[in-house]
Amino acid sequence: MKCRYTFKVVSETALPQSLRFKDGVTEFTLVSNQGRLSAVIVEQAEVKFSQYPNITPPPQGGIARICIPSDPLLPFIQAELRAVRGSLAPWGVYNIETRNPKIEWIPENEIERQATDIFAFNHFNTPLGEGPPRTMPLDQIIRPLLSRRSLIPLETPLEFLRRGVEDLHVQRYIEAIYDFYFVLEYLFADGQFTKNGTRSAMLADPEVTRIIRESQANPLPDLRESQVDRDTFAKKYQGRTLEEVLNTIIELRGFLHHQSLTRKKNWSPGAPDEFKVDAYFLYAMAHSAVLNLSTTLLFTPTEDARFHATTIFTTSGQRVRWTPMPTPSEP
């Protein structure tokens, strides 16, 4: 099977016209768009697949099954292009988006042609702000504006959480880990920065126990979609004691804080996927902590009175009336 991968390039590097060349069995095309380098296309023939891209017809009343095979070549090309984009950074190339290229499969014989139903595939994330609107109580949008001055002391952890959510969405898992760790360190480390001091402070805080237990019991949907992620989550976090979880988090933060040419094991900022499960677990912890803290603040008697004393209208002039939440019944 011949494979063609198109990687988008973000650059200010001038390229008057598209160029094509070969290196051994691999062919490269540098794509020019409006006079600048805008994409790199990599093609290689005779890639061996254990199965071919195809669609299995659905059973009666069922859903068709789409098979996107594991690609034996793509991980090597991605690793090579991560190194290439670093070498091109001084020359105006800001990014070669290696993670989700457009993939095209080109059959090279009749057997492959008969076995292949899908000839191109492109995976991408919906940009932030363009996904389906999330339904939430409207008063939760209004209350922070009315309580804005009371929220100022929480600006730092709130901002780290916001940045972490953004990093998580675009799969910057290492940056997300830092963001969420700083939320936890700010709220629960009691000014301690050593491993032992941080661990002791967090173990002594009952809120840390709550958010760990809650995060262990409820793996986020993004982890439930993958068996590999579910297995990693279960092994690293779900079945662990509080102290083991904290040790894992604190050791991870220390590991990510250092780099060295002589270090036996390093991590690459261009290959953050190995830290996906860690990032999502820390997100669950930080989200639970911040949500509980900020929501409690918004519903203090003073802030609650401020909200109910505010008259709110639609832009057409209709007054909005709020139905009080029912008081929970006694068990």
Both 303 and 154 in one domain: the answer is yes
Both 160 and 115 in one domain: the answer is no
Q: What is the reported pLDDT for 331? A: 47
Tokens read off for 328: 């929970």
Q: What is the reported pLDDT for 115? A: 83
State which residues form the domain around 274.
Answer: 139-261+268-308
Both 214 and 246 in one domain: the answer is yes
Long-range contacts of residues 104-110, Cβ cutoff 8 Å, at least 24 apart: 104/3, 104/4, 104/5, 104/6, 105/1, 105/2, 105/3, 105/52, 105/53, 106/1, 106/2, 106/3, 106/4, 107/1, 107/2, 108/1, 108/2, 108/45, 108/46
Nearest alpha carbon to residue 106 among 127, 121, 91: 121
Q: Indicate whether 323 belongs to any domain.
A: no
Which one-letter amino acid corresponds to residue 322? W
Rounded average pLDDT per 10-residue block, the chain, 331 residues: 95 96 95 96 91 78 75 91 93 92 92 86 80 86 92 93 94 95 96 91 95 92 86 92 95 90 84 92 96 91 92 92 64 47
Both 155 and 272 in one domain: the answer is yes
